[in-house]
Structure 1
C-alpha cells in the first residue's frame, strides 16, 4: 500500500524532476568548428527497440509497460545492445520525458545511476537512503521517507563497465533499506527484489555482459538495434540546419553499402556526419572516405585540427601534427593498446602511470580531444578515464602497434617476444607481413571477438593512401609498411582453412578495408550466371555467400540453394545468418509473406534481402538432413531471438532419433514455432512421446501439426493424445494418418481442424466422431475424412452431427469414400437443418451418385453451402 504523500515528498519529486531536466535537456554535439549543446528533444531520433520474447516494437512510451492481457508485473527490464547503439541516450531521454511529465506519470521517483559512477564507490559502505542522497542531493527535501514505499524506478546504465563483483550467490541478503553495506551488496539485493520490491529496475548492457545478471531476476529483455535507414536520414537532418549539406551527406552514405549499414549504429553515424561535414566544406578534399578505417583517420584529423586551434593557438591552415598533438595521440595510443590487451575499458591513475602519463596530462587530453577521450569525476573528485567509444580505443591501439614497428622494429603482436628487445625486427617486407599475420592469428583465436575491430583498422592502415594521411604522425622516413597483397592472400588462406563462416565474417570486413572484393565478386558472378548445377561451393565461397547475405541489400532477388548440390552443408553454413540480429530491423516493415525461405528458393524484397534471423517460414523439404543439421536447427529454435514460426521438414528421413534431437529446441521456452510439418519423415509410435511432451509444455506455441505419411499406428496416437488433452496445448490443426481408432482423437474435437485423410476409420470411427461433434464442448470447424473407408452408414451419423445444437462444423471433406446415393440422401437431411452451419462440402461424383439432377442433395443448396464435386480429375464448384 502506497503511503500518503506529504509536502516533503512533493518537494522532493519536484526538485528531482528539475535536477533531471537540467542534467539531460542538452546533448553535446561536435561540429567541425566547435562543440555545441543541442536540446535533447530536438536532436533525439527514435531507435528501433524490440522485445525479445514478444516480438513487438518498443517505444520510450511503453518501454516499462506490459502488453494488454499480460499477467504479472514488470519489475526488472534488461536493455541489450552493442556499444554505441544508443542505450545511454535512451535512458537519458526517458528520464527527461519523465521529468517533463510525458511518460510514467505514476512513478514518483526516478534515480538514473551509471556503473561508471558506482565504480568509484567500490569498497565504501552506504545504506540505500544515503546512496540516493549522495547522487541526488535534492531528494533530501523528501526528508527521511522510505523510498521503498513509493513507486520508483532505478536506472543502472552500463553493466558492461561495472567493476563491482555482483556476486548474486554469495552476497549478504538485505531486506531493510536502512541497512548499510557495500555498493555491490546493495545492487544485488536491489536487482533480486530483496530491497525496493515494488520499484522497477532498468539495466542496460552489451550482450556479452548480460550474463552477469541471473536470468530469473529479469522480467523482460529488450534489444536496441539502432537507426533504421529512414531514421539515419532524420538524425542527419536534425543535426545539420543546412539542408543542402545534410542532403549531400546522406547521398554519400548511400553510395557505400558498408557505410550505409554501419551508420545504423548511432555512434558511427555521428562520426561519419562529423567527417563529411568537414570534408564537404572544402574544395580540395580528395576522395570522400568509404571504409571504416578511412572514416576514423579523418575523424582523428578533424579532432586534432580542432585541438590545435582551440588549445594550441594555431590556425586551421597550420600542419596538424604539432609536437603537442603528436605526443598526445601517441601517448593515448600506448594506453589504448596496453589496456585493450588487459580487457580494460576504464582507466585509473595507476593505469596511466604504467603508460607514462601523469594524471594532469590525462585531464588535459580529455579537454583537448573530448570527443575521443574523457574524464569522469565522482562527487569526491575521484577520477577515472576512458575512450568515448571502444572503437576509438581499438583505433588508437592500432596506431601504437604500427608506430612501434616503424620506430623500433618491435612486433607487439608476436608471440615470441624476448624480455629485453621484444623481438626486434627489421622493416623488410617479410617482417611486415609477419606483423599483419600475427594480428590475424590473435584475432581468430579470440573467443569473444574483442580484437575484430582492431584487426580491421590494422588491415586498413596497411594501405598506402591511408598511411599518407597519417605520415607526419607515423614518421615513416621513407620506409614502407605496406604488405597489401601478402596480407590479402593470408586472409584468404585463413578463410579457406576455417570451416566456420561465422568466424570468417570479420575477415571479409578486413578484405573490404584492404579494398579487395575478389571473393565476394566471385560468388556474385556465380549467383548472377545461373550456372550452379556443376559447381560445388568451396568453404571460402560459402563464407563469401554468408557475408553477402549479412551485408547486402539489393544484390539479387532469388537464391536457389538446391543448385549448389549441397543442401545440408548449405543449411549448416547459413546458420550464422539464421541467428544474426544485426539486420533484423531491415525486415520490420516488410510484409509477413516476404519473411520466408525455402531451400528451393529464397524470396526477398526487390530492394532488401530477407534477413533470415526474422524468418517466419523455413522449408527444408527433401534435403536428406543428418543429425548435425537437426542439432543446428534445434539451436535456431531455442535461440532467444529466433522468430521462426513455420518449419517444414517434409520427406526427410528424420526417424524417431531425429525427432528426439529436434525436441530439445521445440521444448525450449524461447521456441515460438506455430506450424510444424513432419510429413513422410519415417516416424513411428516412438516419436509420439516427444510430440506429446512439447505439446504439453506450458511455453508451447504450436498451432498446426502435420504428421501425415508416418507409421504412427493407434498406439502412437494414443500416446500423443495426452498432449492434446493438456490445458497448455494450443494445437488447432492436426493432420495425421496410419491409425484406425478415432476414440484416441477426442481431444482434437475441441480444436479448429482435424485432417484424418488416409486413415482406416471405417463407419465405426465416423460414428464415434459424430458423437463427439454433437458435444457442446466441440469447437471443430473443419473435418477431413477423405480416403477413410466410409460407407453410406457413416452419412446417417454425420447428418445427425450437422443438426446438433449448436453445430460448429463449417467444412466437411468426404471425398474418395463409397457413400453411394443412399448415403448422400441421408446427408442431405442434415444439410437442410437450420442448425447446420456447413459452408463447404467435398464429395466424389463418380463414386456415389448416378442421378445428380434427381438427388435431394440439391435441396440443401438453397442454403449458402459450397459443394465441391470431384468428377474424375475435374472439380465442379456449385454455390
Structure 2
C-alpha cells in the first residue's frame, strides 16, 4: 500500500494487473491511468482455433459452427472461453455426430462440465471412458462448487477463502483435483504470511455453476433459492416453474451492475430439455413443458418493450437465444435482407432487436451512424450498447438534448467502452448537456480522442465545464471542436491548455464563434443567395432582384454567355458556398433543387448538363413524390416523422409545391434536404461525400409555370 500511495519509491510507476471487480479496491486518487487488456478480435478468434487444431477439416467445422452461433461467437472474444469452446467441441466431435454440436452458451458449459467430469474419473478415480461420469464423489463436488459459486455471486465475490470453501463442504486438500474448473491462488501478505485464496478460472464458470445450483435445487427439492428466505416452505407453496423463471428475470433486471445477467442466461438455458441427457443422475428431469417456456419467452418480450435500460434489454435478447426463440430478431433480419425496414414503424422491442443484431453481426462496429436508422433521442437511448461497442459514433443533427448526454456520459465512464470518436454537432445540447458530458470526460476510464460539439448552443458556462473536465483528465482528448458556439472567456482557457505539455490535445477549433451562433436549429447558418442571370436558360424569367425564377413560354432576351444553360431549363446561384450554409426555397410545380460544382456542362442537350445526372451535382426532385439523384442514380427516400430540428430519417411524401430547405456542411461533405412544415424541418435525404471545390445552388424548372423563390429567414 505504501508503494501505491507513493510513500515508498515516490518516483516509481506501478502497473497493477487485476480483475475488473477488484480494481475498485485501489484508491481512485492513486490512479493516474487505466489500461485494459482487450479480448480477441474476430480475426484473432479464428487464428486461435487454427493454431489450436491441426486437422484443417475439423478446424473449418469448428469455426463455421462458432460463427453460426451468435452467443458463442460473441463470447469467443474472451481467450479463456475460446479454450473452453475448443475443449468442448474437440470432445463432442470425437464422441457424437457433428449435428449435435452445442449451439447455445448453456449447452457449451454443460458439455464443458461433462468433459471435466470425464477427466476427473479417468485421471484421479481410475475409471474408464465408458463409466458413468456423474459418480457420487463428482456429484458431491459439483453440488459443493455450485453452492460456493452461488453464495459468493450473491455477495459479488470473485475471490474467496478457505473458510468459504469449508462452509460449502469442500475439502481444501483436494480442491486442486478439479483443476480444470477450480484453481488455487496464493498471495503474500505483509511480507511474512501466505494466505490461500481461491477463484474459478473465469467468472462465467462461477455464473454457470451458480445457475446449475439454483436449477438443481429447485428441480430436485422444489426450494426456490431466489426467494428472499428460501426454505422447505418454498416447496410446500408449490412455486410454478413459470413463476420461478419470471422471478429470476425480475431479480436480474433489478441488479444495478448487471452481475446476474449471465447467471440468468444459464438458468433459462438449463430449463430446456436439450441438456437433460447430459445432466442425468445430477439433476432430475425438469418436466418443464413447452407452455412454461413460452410463458417465459412472452414475459421476457414484455420486459423488452418496457422501461428497461438498453444494456439489460440486450441481455434479455441473449436470454431468448438461450431459450431458442429468435422470433423478434428473425423478423428484423428478414426486413433488413429485403430492404423493407421502415424505421418509423419499429416498436421499442424491435429497436432493441436491431441493437442486438448490430452487436451480434460479424462486421466490425467501426462507425455507427444514427442517421442511417432514425435521428431521435428515443432511438439513441435504445441503441446505446451499439454506441458503446463502436469506435466512432456519428450523431450530428439528430435532435438530441441533455437527456441524451446522460446516456453518452455513462458510455464515456465505462471502462469497457470502445468509443473513441463522437460527433454531436448541430444538436441543441446547450450548457446543461455539455456539463453532463463533462462528467463523463472527467472519468479516469474515459478514452475518448475526438469530440465534436460544433453548433450546440454552448456558451462560456458550458466551455468552462469542458476546461474543468480536461484538467481532471488531461490524457483524454486529441481533438475538440466547439466552433459555431459562443465560448467567451472560456475559449481562452481552452486555448491556454493547448500549451500544457500534460495535455494530449492536438487540435482545438473555436472559430467561428460568437453570440450569433446561439440560435437553435439549422437556421443559424442562413446565407443570403441571389440567382445568376448569366446562367439562366432563356425559358426562365427572373424577378424580385434575382430571388425568384419562373419558367415561361416566351424566350427571354438574355445576352450570349458561356455560363448559360443552352438547352436545359436550369440556372445557378451567383456565388459559391463553403463552410456551413442553410437556405429555404418556395417551389411550385415540377422542379429540381440542387447543389453543383461550377464546372457542370452548359452546352448541348446531354444528361451531363442535367442536375443530378453526373458526378458534378446532387439533386432533389420535387414533384408528385420526392426523389434524389446523383451521378445518374435515383433513389426514393424512406418516410419520416417531423421534428422541431433537423431529423435524419427520410420523407418521401408527395409534394408538388411548398417550402424546402437545404443545409450544406462543406467541410463535412454533406448536403441535406428538408421539407418545411409549420416551422418544423422534416428530413428528406442527406448526401455524404467529399467536396473538392465550392458548391453553387442550382434549380431546374421542368414544366411551364413552375417557379422557385428564395426565402428570407
Task: Report the aligned-residue RMSD.
Answer: 4.2
Contact 2:117 2:138 in 1 (8 A): yes
Which of the residues 239, 248, 265 maps onto 2:52? 239
Instruction: Say yes or no: does 1:628 pair with 2:438.
Output: no
* 2:85 counterpart residue number: 272
Which of the residues 272, 275, 279 maps onto 1:466? 275
Contact 1:736 1:757 in 2 (8 A): no
Q: Which has the higher contact order (CA 8 A, sep 6+)?
A: 2
Contact 1:340 1:393 in 2 (8 A): yes
* 2:234 counterpart residue number: 423
* 2:452 counterpart residue number: 676
Gaps of 5+ in 2: 517-524, 529-573, 578-597, 599-691, 700-713
Separation (CA, whole Å) in 1 of partners of 2:227 and 2:169: 23
- Cα gap change, 1:442/1:194 in structure 2, threshold over 3 Å: closer, same or farther? same
Query: 467-476 or 334-343: which moved more?
Result: 334-343
- Structure 2 SS opposite 1:391: helix
More helix per residue: 1
Separation (CA, whole Å) in 2 of partners of 1:378 and 1:869: 67
Instruction: Say yes or no: does 1:366 pair with 2:176.
Output: yes
- Cα gap change, 1:465/1:220 in structure 2, threshold over 3 Å: closer, same or farther? same
- Cα gap change, 1:815/1:637 in structure 2, threshold over 3 Å: closer, same or farther? farther
Shift of 1:213: 1.5
Q: TM-score, normalised by structure 2?
A: 0.63
* 2:651 counterpart residue number: none
Contact 2:271 2:288 in 1 (8 A): no
Instruction: Say yes or no: does 1:260 pair with 2:73.
Output: yes
* 2:386 counterpart residue number: 577
Contact 1:232 1:263 in 2 (8 A): yes
Which of the residues 63, 75, 95 maps onto 1:250? 63
1:439-469 Cα deviation digits (max 9, x unpaired): 2122222222222222111111111111222
- Structure 1 SS opposite 2:14: strand
Aligned residue runs from structure 1 range 374-413, under 5 A: 374-376=183-185, 383-413=196-226
- Structure 1 SS opposite 2:297: helix
Separation (CA, whole Å) in 2 of partners of 1:204 and 1:309: 36
* 1:441 counterpart residue number: 250
Separation (CA, whole Å) in 2 of partners of 1:370 and 1:735: 62
Which of the residues 353, 356, 373 maps onto 1:547? 356
Separation (CA, whole Å) in 1 of partners of 2:155 and 2:490: 56
Separation (CA, whole Å) in 2 of partners of 1:870 and 1:209: 57
- Cα gap change, 1:355/1:527 in structure 2, threshold over 3 Å: closer, same or farther? same
Q: In the comparison of the two structures, how many residue pairs are matched? A: 517
Separation (CA, whole Å) in 1 of partners of 2:223 and 2:410: 44
Separation (CA, whole Å) in 1 of partners of 2:371 and 2:365: 16
Aligned residue runs from structure 1 range 711-726, under 5 A: 720=491, 723-724=494-495
Gaps of 5+ in 1: 1-187, 581-611, 741-755, 760-813, 818-841, 843-866, 875-879
Which of the residues 561, 567, 573 maps onto 2:376? 567
Which of the residues 493, 513, 517 maps onto 2:326? 517
Shift of 1:341: 2.9
* 1:194 counterpart residue number: 7
1:358-396 Cα deviation digits (max 9, x unpaired): x2xx533531x2201234568988655443333222222
- Cα gap change, 1:320/1:873 in structure 2, threshold over 3 Å: closer, same or farther? closer
1:551-607 Cα deviation digits (max 9, x unpaired): 222599999855866612112222232234xxxxxxxxxxxxxxxxxxxxxxxxxxx
Instruction: Say yes or no: does 1:457 pair with 2:277.
Output: no
- Cα gap change, 1:537/1:416 in structure 2, threshold over 3 Å: closer, same or farther? farther
- Cα gap change, 1:278/1:725 in structure 2, threshold over 3 Å: closer, same or farther? closer
Separation (CA, whole Å) in 2 of partners of 1:738 and 1:316: 79
1:634-666 Cα deviation digits (max 9, x unpaired): 55566665644452422x444565555556567
Which of the residues 92, 106, 109 maps onto 1:296? 109
Shift of 1:526: 4.0
1:27-71 Cα deviation digits (max 9, x unpaired): xxxxxxxxxxxxxxxxxxxxxxxxxxxxxxxxxxxxxxxxxxxxx
Aligned residue runs from structure 1 range 53-64, under 5 A: none
Which of the residues 128, 135, 138 maps onto 1:325? 138
- Cα gap change, 1:815/1:731 in structure 2, threshold over 3 Å: closer, same or farther? farther
Q: TM-score, normalised by structure 1?
A: 0.52
Which of the residues 5, 15, 18 maps onto 1:205? 18
1:732-764 Cα deviation digits (max 9, x unpaired): 655426789xxxxxxxxxxxxxxx9989xxxxx
Contact 1:432 1:481 in 2 (8 A): no
1:183-205 Cα deviation digits (max 9, x unpaired): xxxxx111122123354432112
* 1:773 counterpart residue number: none
